[in-house]
Structure 1
Amino acid sequence: MQNSQISHDIFKGSELENTVDKILNNNNIEINDLIYLLKTPEIQRLGLIGNSLREHLYGKQVSFINNIILNYTNVCVTYCKFCAFYRPPGHEESYTVSKEEIIERIVFAKNNYDIKQVLFQGGHNPKLNTEYFEDIFNTIRSKCPDVAIHGLSASEIDMIARVDRSSPREVLERLHIAGLESLPGAGAEILVDEVKEIISPLKISSQTWLEIMETAHKIGIKSSATMMYGTVETIEQRARHIIKIAELQKKTRGFMAFIPWSFEPNKTEIQEIGTVQYAMGGFELLKMISVSRVVFNGLIDHLQSSWLTNGIGMAQLAIFHGSDDFGGTLIGEEVVSATGARSTELLAKNIINAIKSMGFIPVERNNNYDLLKTY
């Protein structure tokens, strides 16, 4: 089925249809078209389109990965206003996990849960240099060679480079040799500096995030792209973020997946000062999933519904709006759990049941989205 036929089969002759067809058929995303889609209240129609595009690509299969998240340190000097996880250096609640404990956790998870990936993320700790991560990654690879290391955001890479007084490229090259397979998309938030100046003024700029991702892609390190929406950004700024991701993907083809997720304000400075009181909720999530499936059609293959920040029920509904991946089990997660918003652990059987209950076929994948097992 051609892309244009997908939307024609659902509804005809509307502005929504014309806008979607224009994006799908011209391979060109214009800011005003994207703003229109992000503003429209017609999430049912958008959902039908997103679901049709997903089904055309993946049929009834929905993937997930068995993994753990290892938050190796909560020491951080960027003091982001949207984060409830970090602690400043010297704080009584600050920690850095020892190499021995990191390896112990991963080996335990491999033996007990057959994990395929460790999501390795933490704060911007000014005491940790490239050698610290090289040592850990080399040990992970020797102890658990089939567990992929999906770790270190672009902003963490920037911090490590500054600690070592080297360049992000040198850090990435050394860590790639040590076993770093791919980068998560964290640190992007909204790729508009006017937003970053409000919510994360000490973190890397939008351009630096894009440059580090481009460098990673060029040396063979794939990555995810993310968008954290629901802080202080406008609809137009969300649109600009999406366009920047699309433009870089056209250049490098290095993004494996796009993961939009809603900001959780609980226990954060943004909530305390009254800037944002509540999370955006399901309406915006489903719209974001559908719009992302349309915009990234033919560009970014996989779209994750992120049960971690949106909850199981919304992740299930997101499948019907275009997402094809349920994310991971994320045993041991501490960043979102620091907000107290929800439980952040889920075993594979829970994900399998959640996918099956929606009438879809659960498929376990690896870090590169290769399918390993059908349930």
Structure 2
Amino acid sequence: MPCKTVDSILDHALLGYNLSPAEGVVLLKQVDPEAIAAIRTTADKLRYTQAGDTVTYVINRNINFTNICEQHCSFCAFRRDEDDSSAYWLGWAEILAKSTDAVARGATEICMQGGLNPQAQINGQSLAYYLKLVETIKQAFPQIHLHAFSPQEIEFIARVDGIKYADVIAALRDAGVGSMPGTAAEVLDDEVRRILCPEKIDTATWLEIVGTAHRLGLPTTSTILSGHIETPEQQIGHLEKLRSLQKTAIDRGYPAKITEFIALPFVGQEAPKSLRRRVGRNQPVLKDALLLMAVARIYLGNYIANHQPSWVKLGLSGATEALLWGCNDIGGTLMEEHITTMAGAVGGTCLEVANLQSAIAALGRPHQQRNTLYQRLIPHSH
């Protein structure tokens, strides 16, 4: 395609117009270095106008409370059957100990997700177990923000207990969950999902659960798992669904909406062999991830202002580079993270605040601590 098309699409975007899906696909398919450089520059300009120059980060801890899971997603190296020697399921005391450690290290957020463990019940109730998880943390640390339970986990609880999604979400919200991770989205395209995660919720269910959370006042994040079997058309279809979900929350005046978009490049190192063979490589291709993040900024930025790379997937240097491709946030300290690490990622599982700050400072950009909902915080001096 002649560069003029790319230039006119980018000029249009800089004037504040939304890209059409067809225009998004044109941008994602560029291979010409000059066109790609123009896309990066545009994404960076829009990042500046939509989110400012300050790069934010959050001090958080991940608690993946069990890796026992009834599903068999083709990309997942984290899940185990309950009789596997490497299966684990944290008890209440361990969850409390991890939370106590996180708070001692200055965390404002605990992110909690786990496998779909059919045994995780109290008195035959799945919801009762999840409420106890929440209460274990919130009774000890009422001030901590609990960012917990993906749409897939919501569907699992509702299905096991035979109740509505809205009832699950409202109960968790009332117990102290502050926001929902927009994970389990993978690619919001049912053809891709049939290959990647056939047992997972379908696209419509994911959108319904996240939309219900917004209606009930629970903010969510949004993600894409990219760089495996999906096409540029399917990537843009995913961004389009997120944009229209956010537009619905705004147009209907819902009390909550999507706070951020996170691109999660596929790490194939330890993935089950069939998918790894199909994808043909173990680590993400940085240039593909950067182009997608730039196009996501251009496509979503009018509706979702905060964009975050994954240093766990890309390494800190790759994530820092993404701050020049439309991202304005570098994510969290995590303190521990098993899902991506067990997939063979090279990024590590814990960064100190100083690591994040110096990566940002190297770009000549200011940095600031934020909370989960992107309110800026004055860091405590330790």
Same fold, TM-score > 0.5, yes or no: yes
> Residues of 1 paired with 2:15 and 2:128: CA distance?
48
Contact 1:270–1:276 under 8 Å retained in 2? no
Is structure 2 residue 175 aligned with structure 1 residue 171?
A: no
> Residues of 1 paired with 2:273 and 2:295: CA distance?
27
Aligned position for 1:251? 248
Aligned position for 1:7? none
> Residues of 2 paired with 1:246 and 1:109: CA distance?
34
Aligned position for 1:281? 285
Contact 2:51–2:305 under 8 Å retained in 1? no
* SS of the residue 2:279 aligns to: coil
Contact 1:81–1:199 under 8 Å retained in 2? yes
Residue 28 of structure 1: how far off its partner (Å) = 4.1
1:20 pairs, out of 10, 31, 47, with 10
2:339 pairs, out of 307, 318, 335, with 335
Aligned pairs, number: 362
Aligned position for 1:123? 115
Is structure 2 residue 307 aligned with structure 1 residue 307?
A: no
> Residues of 2 paired with 1:92 and 1:160: CA distance?
26
Aligned position for 2:221? 224
Aligned position for 2:23? 33
TM value normalised by structure 1: 0.93
Aligned position for 1:325? 329
In structure 1, runs of 5+ residues without a counterpart are 1-12
Task: Map Cα deviations across residues 280-336 of structure 1 (whole Å, 9 max, x no partner).
Answer: 411111111111111112200100022111111111111111100000001111111
Cα distance change, pair 25–58 in 1 and its aligned pair in 2 (3 A): closer
Aligned position for 2:150? 153
Cα distance change, pair 272–24 in 1 and its aligned pair in 2 (3 A): closer
Aligned position for 2:80? 87
Contact 2:284–2:313 under 8 Å retained in 1? no
What residue identity is the alignment partner of 2:108?
K
Task: Map Cα deviations across residues 151-186 of structure 1 (whole Å, 9 max, x no partner).
Answer: 111011111111111121111010000011111111
Runs of 4+ more than 3 Å apart: 21-29, 270-273
Residue 138 of structure 1: how far off its partner (Å) = 2.0
Aligned position for 2:253? none
What residue identity is the alignment partner of 1:131?
A
What residue identity is the alignment partner of 2:301?
N
> Residues of 1 paired with 2:166 and 2:43: CA distance?
37
What residue identity is the alignment partner of 2:79?
Y
Aligned position for 2:264? 261
> Residues of 1 paired with 2:286 and 2:25: CA distance?
19
What residue identity is the alignment partner of 1:74?
N
> Residues of 2 paired with 1:204 and 1:157: CA distance?
10
Contact 2:28–2:291 under 8 Å retained in 1? yes
Is structure 2 residue 139 aligned with structure 1 residue 142?
A: yes
Task: Map Cα deviations across residues 174-217 of structure 1 (whole Å, 9 max, x no partner).
Answer: 00000111111110000000000001000100110000000000
Residue 127 of structure 1: how far off its partner (Å) = 2.1
Contact 1:29–1:295 under 8 Å retained in 2? yes
RMSD over equivalenced CA pairs, Å: 1.7
Is structure 2 residue 317 aligned with structure 1 residue 296?
A: no
Residue 58 of structure 1: how far off its partner (Å) = 3.9
Instruction: Report the identity percentage.
Output: 31
Aligned position for 1:353? 358
Task: Map Cα deviations across residues 250-308 of structure 1 (whole Å, 9 max, x no partner).
Answer: 00141100111210011111556611221341111111111111111220010002211
TM value normalised by structure 2: 0.91
Residue 223 of structure 1: how far off its partner (Å) = 0.5
* SS of the residue 1:373 aligns to: coil
What residue identity is the alignment partner of 2:36?
I
* SS of the residue 2:222 aligns to: strand
